[in-house]
Amino acid sequence: MPEEIKELIRDYRDGKINRREFMRRAVIFTGSLAAADALIAGLITSRAVAQVDPGDPSILWHNIEYTGKAGPVFGYLARPVAAGKYPGLVLIHANQGLNDHIRDVARRLAKQGCVTLAPDYLSRQGGTPKVNPKSEGLSNIRELAPWQNVAEDTDAGFAYLRTLTDARGDRQGLIGFCWGGEMTFSSATQVRGLKAVVVFYGRSPKPIDLVKNIEAPVLAHYGEKDPGVNQDIPSTEEAMKKYHKTYIYKVYPGAQHGFYNETTADRFHPEAAKEAWNKTLELFAKKLKG
């Protein structure tokens, strides 16, 4: 692949250019609109898009299994290779289950100095490969994994992290995307000891008064073109104020639901993704590493 195209893809993925500019330059480099469309659909969604290579020497990763309330929970653990004591994170996947994108996000967080556990919340049904071998969005995931079960498996995940010598039990954070964002918000009402919670375009707990139990500040990222999720924002803000909870959020202009996921080229919004990620890392640095 020509180096200028590789650089173009990197610039788009890193949020340095928007989709329009990507397409304009891609047409110049490839000579046709059809080829540019194929480039963004094929290369941006390919496995090669991983931001942190599994072979990165600065991290370690393991497929693990830990004990949950209802039985074994499968998971993916990514951690810094350097000796030390690091914050412990649980990462809740979207409605596709535990897939390569979420594993990559776990590695990104490990690169930032966090021991990150991404549980497979379909473990009670045999795991993602069994339940969702095609890695499609599961419309019935709320029935397969009710939020109460997710909260239990999340709590057990933190208990597992506390057994690791390199994970700090007093610096724990929770983050999730899409369905996982919703589950993050709901689980935060049940899991004790959290210091930071990050929700990417997830619905709020129901009933909303459950937020009175949240112990950590909540940072939420929403896409402007996501009315189904965003309708919860006013009532959430009101309830969080009522119970004196910290709720910081931003609605990103022009962004859709799923805007952080670069493997979905039709939704990925590089500028919003970059800003939301930086805000997330800032919160973790302040609340988990301070």
257 is catalytic: yes
Task: Give the separation between CA 254 and CA 144, rounded to whole angstroms.
Answer: 32
Single out the catalytic residue among 93, 221, 257, 269: 257
Residues 40, 122 within the same domain: no
Q: Is 114 a catalytic residue?
A: no
Shared-domain flag, residues 83 and 38: no
Q: How confident is the model at residue 46 (pLDDT cuts 50, 70, 90)?
A: very low
**15-29, 89-103, 112-126: the lowest-pLDDT one:** 15-29
* Domain edge (last residue) among 27, 44, 61: 44
Catalytic residue among 104, 153, 155, 226: 226
The mean-pLDDT minimum among 25-34, 71-80, 213-222 falls in 25-34
The dihedral formed by the CA atoms of 192, 197, 201 and 206, expressed in degrees to the nearest 10: 30
Q: Taking every pair of C-alpha atoms in the chain, what is the biggest distance, in angstroms?
A: 58
pLDDT at 45: 47
Domains identified in the chain, total number: 2
Against a cut of 0.75, is the pTM above it?
A: yes
Same-domain check for residues 29 and 151: no
40 shares a domain with 60: no
**Claim to verify: residue 83 and residue 115 sit in the same structural domain:** yes
The pLDDT, as a whole number, for residue 47 is 41
Instruction: Give the active site residue among 101, 104, 153, 178.
Output: 178
Eight-state DSSP code of residue 189: T
The CA–CA distances, whole Å, from 227 to 211, 222, 273 equal 21, 10, 18
CATH number of domain containing 262: 3.40.50.1820
* Host domain of residue 30: 1-44
Whether 93 is catalytic: no
